[in-house]
Amino acid sequence: MELNKAVSNIISNHNVECVGLFGSRARGDNLDNSDYDIFIIANISMEEELEIEAELEQLLDNNIDLINLKEDMDRILLKNIVNEGIVLYNKNNAFENIYNFIEKFFIENNDFLKLRERDLLD
């Protein structure tokens, strides 16, 4: 099944605000057997996240790495997802809200992050 049809299936069966693709398939440097790195934005239980992941694996006949951006996560990973991600479905400006949050975080913490990077390189 094609990715857009799989996403349509997921959003019709689950309360998901946003679905997107990131990683090698979003960048276009994937191999034929590369997994799908998919992000969602949803106020759902871990059990439902696992259900979505299993459904996508079945629909796409491939391994899925599913990340819910509503959860507290590493800011660097979140920035990478926001920068390279391809939004496939977006409701109520969910993606824009995450984007604005992460941009604000990096602007406000720019000096600290530069010092931290320098310390790591030394």
Position 114 pLDDT exceeds 70: no
The whole-model pTM stands at 0.84
Query: What residues have CB less than 8 Å from 75, skipping those under 6 apart?
Result: 102, 105, 106
Q: Which domain holds residue 24?
A: 3-121
Confidence of residue 112 (pLDDT cuts 50, 70, 90): low
Q: How far is CA 74 from the centre of its chain?
A: 12
For residue range 81-100, what is the model confidence (pLDDT) as tens digits? 999 999 999 999 999 999 99
Q: How far apart are CA 49 and CA 11, in angstroms?
A: 12
pLDDT of res. 74: 84
- Does residue 72 have a pLDDT over 80? no
In the chain, how many domains are there?
1
Q: Is the pLDDT of residue 73 over 80?
A: no
CB contact burial 9-20 (16+ within 10 A = b; e otherwise): bbbeebebbbbb
Average pLDDT, the chain: 90
Long-range contact set of residues 107-114: C-beta below 8 Å, sequence gap at least 24: none
| Number of Cβ atoms within 10 Å of the Cβ of 95 | 21
Among 28-32, 44-48, 114-118, name the one with the lowest average pLDDT.
114-118
DSSP 106: H
Chain-centroid distance of CA 51 in Å reads 17
Q: What is the CATH number of the domain that holds 97?
A: 3.30.460.10
The pLDDT score that the predictor gives to residue 122 is 59
